[in-house]
Each structure stands twice: as structure tokens, then as C-alpha cells.
Amino acid sequence: MPAMEETAKRVTKRRVRTRARLLDAAFTVFAAKGFGRVSIEEVCEAAGFSRGAFYSNFATLDELFFALYRERADLIAAQVADALALDGPDLDVTASVDRVTEVLLLDVDWLLVKTDFLVHAARDPDVAQALLDHRARLRGAIAERLSRARGHTELPAVLGDVDGAARAVVAAYDGVTTQLLLDRDVEHARAWLKQLLTALLTDGSGTPPRATPPRATPA
């Protein structure tokens, strides 16, 4: 391998590590102090880097904040998708809810950062649109999985269609995590989320209603 190519690869790996350390440090500082009270210098100090290292990876603190949010939010979306994918072509609602609630990231520090980001997005239309796009992708992944269950399970009619069910799932997560911010009881939050999702996606007994065959149309 040419020396210049080898050097370029080392630089790329070092930059990836630097970026990761900046994101980890920013997460710790944002969770402790809040986004609006943190400076670039504080992030650099926590990461053990200079301002030059910061600016070689991010143009602004806002850009770093959004990168941090996207990294953690994508992790949650992947956790949900992976848990739902284990059923194959069928959908065992109760088992899927169990898996999702067991693996789902319920971390108070992350929720503090997420809440800061929501408040930030509420005051910045561009950031708000990026957040809306991400939430739409998450709902889409859930709706796609629920739609493949048709013929095997039937969602409660009150939810409307699979998109309505996906919105209800995301809303349930939002509600549970808001309570978690206040009482800091992760175990209770996980159990509550399981109960709420089971009630939403089944008849309330934990057993999804069976899909009924269409009625014959009179000739």
C-alpha cells in the first residue's frame, strides 16, 4: 500500500475517534448542564481536545448537538426495528412488545438531552423539520412492520390504520419517558410502557384480536 494512502487511512481513523470522543463528551456535558448553558470550550475540555479539533469536525455547537441527537435517535429506531423483525412474516404483538420494551433505551441523561433538543427545535424551523423527518421515519418503520401483520392479527379499530397505530406507539413512548424524567424510575417506566403498548395494540387482554374473514357479498 502506498505511503500516502496509508497515512490518509490513519488520519481518517484518528478523525473518527476524535469525533466520537467529542460526541461522548458533549453528551455528558449537555446532560449535566443543558444545551443552552454549554460552550464549545467546555465540550473540548471534557473531551481533552483543542478548539481546532472541534472545528475540524463541527462548524458549530448546534451541528454537534444535532449529530448527537441523530446518533442516539437512530440507535432507538434500530432497536425497535430489530425487535419487531424477529417475528418474521407473522406478528406476535405481546411477544414483540416484550422485546421492544426490554431493549429500548430508557436513559435519563439521554432524555434530558432529547428534551433540550425538542425545545431547541421548537424555536428553529430548520431543526424542527429535521426532527419531524426523523420521527416520520421511525413511525414509518413501525407502520411497515404492523402492515405485514395483516391477515395474522388485527389492530383495534379505534387506532384507524397502521399509521395511526404507529403514531400511538411513538406517543406512548413520549409519555412514558416524560414521566421517567420526573420520577427517575426506569424499572417502572419499562413496565408501564409494556402495559400501555399491549393495551394499545391488542384488545387489552394481551391477546391480539384475530383477523376476521371478509363477509360474503350477496349476489
Quick: pLDDT tens for 48-106: 999 999 999 999 988 898 888 888 878 877 777 777 776 665 667 777 788 888 878 78
Nearest residue to 97 (alpha-carbon basis) of 45, 25, 169, 38:
169
Residue 58 is predicted with a pLDDT of 94
pLDDT band of 189, cuts 50, 70, 90: very high
Residue 24 burial (CB count, 10 A): 13
Residue 151 is predicted with a pLDDT of 52
pTM (2 d.p.): 0.71
Residue 11 is predicted with a pLDDT of 59
CA atoms within 13 A on the CB side of 58: 22
pLDDT band of 9, cuts 50, 70, 90: low
Distances (CA, A) of 86 to 30, 83, 92, 101, 144: 35, 6, 10, 14, 14
